[in-house]
Structure 1
Amino acid sequence: MTDRTFHFTLGPVQGFVAQARRTRDFWAGSFLLSWLAGAAMQTVIAQKGTIVFPTADEDYLGWLHSKRGGKPPRQGGIPNRFKATVGEHFQPVLIEQAVRDAWRAVAEMVWRKDLARHCQRYPDSRVIWDRQIHGFWEIAWALGDDDSLLDRRKNWRTQLAPDEAGIKCSVMAGWQELSGLLAPDTKALKSVLEAFWQPIREQCGRDLADDETLCAIAFVKRRFPHYFEQVRVEKMPGDWTLHGWTVKPQTPSTLDLAAANWLARVVREGSETVLDRLHDAADALFAPSDCGVHRLRCVKDAYRARGLTHLNSSALFGHVLDNKKECPDQATARAMKQAIKALNLKEPPSPFYAILLMDGDRLGELLRKSGSAVSKALDRFTGKVPHIVDRHNGFLIYAGGDDVLALLPLEDALQCAAVVRQCYLDAFAAQNLESTISAAVEYAHVKMPLTRILGDSHKLLDEVAKEQRGRDALAVRVWKPGGQALEWAMPWARVFDQDGKLAIEQLAMQFTRDDTAVTDKEDDRFSSKFFYKIREHFDLLNPLRSKPGQAEEAVIFDDNDALSLLAVDYLASGIDKGRPDKLKIKDAERIIQPLLEQCRPVVRHKNDSTVSFSTSKRLEADGALLVRFLAHKGVER
């Protein structure tokens, strides 16, 4: 009998990964999902099957079943979906059993270590735990050569989430927290809730915040790193042994990411006396062992060079120091503020960080034509991504197949996206193939809920970069505490300037504050005043909106008129202040032309092998506002 094709998928991906209150939850969900998918892959291999797509990461799978040498995996690298060729005696049910056995093993380890003794007085907690642990995963598989089989199988929806009563989890919406209390509407009931959770919080330390009440799934995600090394299942389906390994529980927080480059510069340039004062003040507020900033390359290198220990980035931000819940000892908080002031820096750390999400474009069609070559290209690509993210001071959450998910400092996100894209193109070119990849970058204020930004990143990638801009594109959003501040997107072909550099970043470098005096003949500069009313200026210059039945927008000012009028505004913005040789209108037009190019929406069109671009007649201010945001690192001045 000929071999058959086995298709497998494990979910819910967004329900497990993206529901995260901390970056650690985000990483944990991706890590565990990858580990469980790896258990499924290894069980296929144990039944003499062969993983066809994507290429199985042998080093990763080795850590699952035999603990090979080298560094253990620290982030997700196995996709939740794969296909394999299998023989006549292959048993698909064993794959599903393997995933559930692996999940129960890690969950049971957490229960025994953290909850078993305490919950002896709360029998309902074990009932809730078992219901949630046993009923969470949606596993679908199909046998057959048609790649659409699995999607049709998933539509059956035979896996239904259990009903959840009572108080809901602080992290995963809709899931009941573990105390079993139905509704803490009175002070007495709230005290019962606290009586359940307070001893657990004291045991778990800073892993649980004072206001957090978690469901079983969220609790496993939060606590498994402490015990993952001890996970072992001797008799997995297919007759192999499953292992965990040592993982570091410290993960860079959003504050760590926001402060990384600022802190690295302070450590490199600060005097020993000032740095000692800074660290002593920070240690009086927060335990340095709780932070993950030292996992970011720029900070790691800076501290290693100075022979210093790490501080908790929470102590670097004014809004944290002013929060009496976070810093009840305000005298100690004031000492930290004085230590920061002693650095004599003009700027505090930026309160913004970035999420980078990337995904290959229409890979399914190419996979059907050149399956093995595509797998080799993706294997090469994903092998290089961790080093790229690390070089750009980021923390990789996931790199598997054509998907990349990473957290980065504001200053490094766009450059990292560009380098990852080039790596993707090179990997396919090495196989004599062409494929493209789109990217979404979300710049978020540290006060914004992480779950909200994570959920939005997929919409930004799918709806804006891919659908609105025609794929092979980059899309950016900025989120401030009040909500979405701006959105900008551009096909990759128009993102770079003639020197191959990111045009939007080059424009940001030209940005200067009003109080900067010019003493030489610098001419590539911008001022805040020029950007202050740029949205109003663009609205006046833009063509009138089309009426129903009109083929095109009515044009009042053509491109040359708009350029000239904005050049006048540019010269009136005070850019000539202190300049010995005043700029002329043609100089101003040359300077702002690249800015306007980044403010006109462009759509990529691909018909067969032909690619073309259409450029809107409208000017959108968000491109210019992104320049100002990047130049000021999100800090209003």
Structure 2
Amino acid sequence: MSHLILIAIGPVQDFIASARRTRDLWFGSWLLSELSKAVAKSVYQAKGNLIFPYPTDPAQDLAPNSAFNVPNKILAKVEGDVKMIADAAKQALDTRVNEIRDGAFAKVTGVFDQTRAKAQIAALIEFSWVALHLASDDVYCATREQLEHLMAARKNTRNFSAVTWGTNAPKSSIDGERESVIDNRELKGQELTMYREYGINIGEHLSGVDILKRHGQKGVDSRFPSTSHIAATPVFNYLTLLDQSEKNPKAVTRLWKDYICALKLLESAKEYIQNEKTPIYHDIFEYYDGSLLFAERFNDALVGEDLKKAQKYLQDFLKPFLDTTIPIPYYAILHADGDAMGRFINTAHGMDEHQGISEKLTRFAGNVKSIVENHQGALVYSGGDDVLAFLPLTSSHVIQEGNNKRLATVFDCAADLATAFKQALVDPMVSLSVGIAIVHHLEPLSDALDLARKAEQQAKGIKGKNALAINLSKRGGADRIIAGSWAKPEGQFSLYERLTRLIELHQYDQIPLGFAFELHDLSIRLKDLPASILRAEAKRIIERKYTSNGKKVEDDIAEQLLKMIDDLLLDQTTKPHSIIQQFADEVIIAEFIAEAQKLANGN
């Protein structure tokens, strides 16, 4: 007898997002994909016809540690005893999580409560399944819809049991829910021991789930760049250019080696720099993480005179190359999600068409990693139409536009993803909305992720979606959020095109100095005035302002800026003062990105 079976693995968002380090975040995402993969493989081996996900080469794609990402839902057509198939899938999940758990625990040389840690991990994973008889392929769509309703009901009646691992130990410093399994009270003043035996910083408390995230191994590829490394990318690119210059070749390489050697002589820095590694080798910086370019990061592990010396060594390294000796400490989190996917999937007439959609989503997801890495970013997750990645503000990727070349920005990566999504699905109904949060590298990761989700929700709020939203969150200032569609009416700029042009104008100092802040002030003081007056006042501000090099704004530049404002004011659904405020924020955000580009170019 044929059945449709739907299996859900959880928890998803809470488990992934509860992380203090990017590596914890990435591993949480990878773990859920790996468990879903084990379940999908079990169903496939039971002669199940996988509908979602749709591996093109099941033997390779569903193998442990493969690059294939599997979302937390598995849909398949199966034959025979459906409960036996579901039980076997649950056993496959348990086997895989135990393998990963045991590998993580083996890497911790310090003593911790393994019994309680195992109980915490066992209580973490949720496995839910529902199945319905599939009389024929003709009723596939109706059966699948009913199956989704059954899964929602099943999740609302999940199994609850008493917690067996609760104690009065300190709570986890990562999720605040589970008790720590490491007795930090016996580690006071033993920073090196904490690093070496537990992989924790001062003040951290880890539960069994946290140890799983912190020490779980993804084959040989178990490292992930830090937020500081992503933020340091423009500096790395600039220093690479300097190192290749004819004037003083290999100067950066020599000074970097001296810097690392000096750090290794500091007792409390040895373990720290050994742990601050990335998965990608660089000819100059080897595997060292960009956190070694930020003096404030030494506060995590170094103490006393070692801390002062390390900060002095860093300053000595950067001083010959940077005027301020402080790299731009910001990076971007990109969160993307497909639009109208539910309606699109519901248009599938039967299982074959649904599998075709799954295959297209698989193709897109498989291309995401190369797109992100082409922009020097780090992919956390790409499953179906869902993407989460860390990106530098600007990368070494060069974009050719006519006879001109420019360095790509995080916005270009977003545009490449949106284009790839449309090309993969080839349907006008669907599109990709992207939210980008620009945050300080020391911002708590959970807060930074919330800002990225807020931006993605802002994009989803655009009429017709197919949108881009950016949230610039600078320390000591209010967040600036802008949003707009990827599409554009004939003869107008899209948000992406405006930002690209504004960044270029900032790079060549052709934007009036301070004019964005005057526009912002204008939008507040004259908020009740009609669009014509606000536009006239904006024109007056532009024409009387000077650029940072003391020159009057050129007439054609002034006309371009006014054209951008005019395009925005055509929107009759938004109040004129809000439009002026949005444009002012666009100019400010573009200037922020332009500064990173100037740094990467050595300007």
TM-score normalised over the length of structure 1? 0.77
CA distance in 2: counterparts of 1:396 and 1:335, whole angstroms: 32
Which of 484, 489, 502 matches 2:497?
502
Say if 2:512 and 2:548, in contact at 8 Å, map to a contact too: no
Residue equivalent to 1:12: 11
CA distance in 1: counterparts of 2:570 and 2:8, whole angstroms: 37
1:99 equivalenced with 2:93 (yes/no) = yes
Say if 1:629 and 1:635, in contact at 8 Å, map to a contact too: no
Secondary structure of the corresponding residue to residue 280 of structure 1: helix
Secondary structure of the corresponding residue to residue 172 of structure 1: coil
Q: Which amino acid aligns with 1:171?
A: I
Q: Which amino acid aligns with 2:53?
A: P
Q: Which amino acid aligns with 2:522?
A: H
1:62 equivalenced with 2:34 (yes/no) = no
1:590 equivalenced with 2:588 (yes/no) = no
What's the CA shift string for 1:251-307, capped at 9, x where partnerless? 111111001122122122233234311332144336665344563xxxx5xx44xx6
1:92-171 equivalence runs, <5 A: 92-114=86-108, 118-119=111-112, 125-144=113-132, 145=143, 146=146, 147-159=148-160, 162=163, 164-166=166-168, 167-171=170-174
What's the CA shift string for 1:573-599, capped at 9, x where partnerless? 2239665x8745xx4651322543687
1:209-608 equivalence runs, <5 A: 209-225=201-217, 246-270=219-243, 271=248, 272-285=250-263, 289-293=274-278, 295=280, 303-304=282-283, 309-320=286-297, 325=302, 328-345=306-323, 348-370=326-348, 371-411=354-394, 412-429=409-426, 434-462=429-457, 464-482=458-476, 485-494=479-488, 502-511=497-506, 525-542=510-527, 544=528, 556-559=529-532, 561-575=533-547, 579=551, 583=554, 587=556, 589-596=558-565
Say if 2:223 and 2:277, in contact at 8 Å, map to a contact too: yes
Counterparts in 2 of 1:312 and 1:403: CA distance versus 1, 3 Å: closer
Unaligned stretches of 5+ residues in structure 1:
120-124, 182-189, 229-245, 517-524, 545-555, 603-612
The range that moved more, 622-631 or 340-349, is 340-349
CA distance in 1: counterparts of 2:340 and 2:547, whole angstroms: 46
Unaligned stretches of 5+ residues in structure 2:
133-142, 264-268, 349-353, 395-408
CA distance in 2: counterparts of 1:497 and 1:632, whole angstroms: 29
Residue equivalent to 1:239: none
Say if 1:11 and 1:138, in contact at 8 Å, map to a contact too: yes
CA distance in 2: counterparts of 1:479 and 1:496, whole angstroms: 32
What's the CA shift string for 1:340-392, capped at 9, x where partnerless? 11125577421011111111112122112221331122122112111111111
CA distance in 1: counterparts of 2:301 and 2:48, whole angstroms: 58
CA distance in 1: counterparts of 2:89 and 2:41, whole angstroms: 9
Say if 1:495 and 1:502, in contact at 8 Å, map to a contact too: no
Secondary structure of the corresponding residue to residue 571 of structure 1: helix
CA distance in 2: counterparts of 1:477 and 1:261, whole angstroms: 20
Say if 1:77 and 1:399, in contact at 8 Å, map to a contact too: yes
Counterparts in 2 of 1:582 and 1:453: CA distance versus 1, 3 Å: closer
Counterparts in 2 of 1:264 and 1:143: CA distance versus 1, 3 Å: same
Say if 1:360 and 1:435, in contact at 8 Å, map to a contact too: yes
Counterparts in 2 of 1:164 and 1:330: CA distance versus 1, 3 Å: same
Q: Which amino acid aligns with 2:344?
A: L
1:33 equivalenced with 2:18 (yes/no) = no
Counterparts in 2 of 1:574 and 1:86: CA distance versus 1, 3 Å: same
Counterparts in 2 of 1:153 and 1:456: CA distance versus 1, 3 Å: farther
Secondary structure of the corresponding residue to residue 393 of structure 1: coil
CA distance in 2: counterparts of 1:567 and 1:260, whole angstroms: 38
Counterparts in 2 of 1:199 and 1:339: CA distance versus 1, 3 Å: closer
Counterparts in 2 of 1:634 and 1:433: CA distance versus 1, 3 Å: closer
CA distance in 2: counterparts of 1:503 and 1:161, whole angstroms: 56
Q: CA deviation at 1:447?
A: 1.6
What's the CA shift string for 1:232-263, capped at 9, x where partnerless? xxxxxxxxxxxxxx232221111110011221
Q: CA deviation at 1:512?
A: 5.7
Say if 1:282 and 1:315, in contact at 8 Å, map to a contact too: no
Q: Which amino acid aligns with 2:222?
A: P
Say if 1:352 and 1:634, in contact at 8 Å, map to a contact too: no
The range that moved more, 259-268 or 308-317, is 308-317
Q: CA deviation at 1:96?
A: 2.1
Residue equivalent to 2:179: 176
Q: CA RMSD in A?
A: 3.3
Q: CA deviation at 1:537?
A: 1.4
CA distance in 2: counterparts of 1:131 and 1:292, whole angstroms: 31
What's the CA shift string for 1:401-457, capped at 9, x where partnerless? 11111111012321111101100001111xx56411111111110121011212342
CA distance in 1: counterparts of 2:242 and 2:360, whole angstroms: 42
Q: Percentage identity across aligned positions?
A: 24
CA distance in 2: counterparts of 1:503 and 1:101, whole angstroms: 52
Counterparts in 2 of 1:376 and 1:211: CA distance versus 1, 3 Å: same
CA distance in 2: counterparts of 1:506 and 1:460, whole angstroms: 22
CA distance in 1: counterparts of 2:489 and 2:294, whole angstroms: 33
Say if 1:168 and 1:176, in contact at 8 Å, map to a contact too: yes
TM-score normalised over the length of structure 2? 0.81
Q: Which amino acid aligns with 2:591?
A: R
Say if 2:473 and 2:479, in contact at 8 Å, map to a contact too: yes
Q: Which amino acid aligns with 1:55?
A: Y
Counterparts in 2 of 1:448 and 1:496: CA distance versus 1, 3 Å: farther
Secondary structure of the corresponding residue to residue 208 of structure 1: coil
Counterparts in 2 of 1:473 and 1:562: CA distance versus 1, 3 Å: same
Counterparts in 2 of 1:193 and 1:315: CA distance versus 1, 3 Å: closer
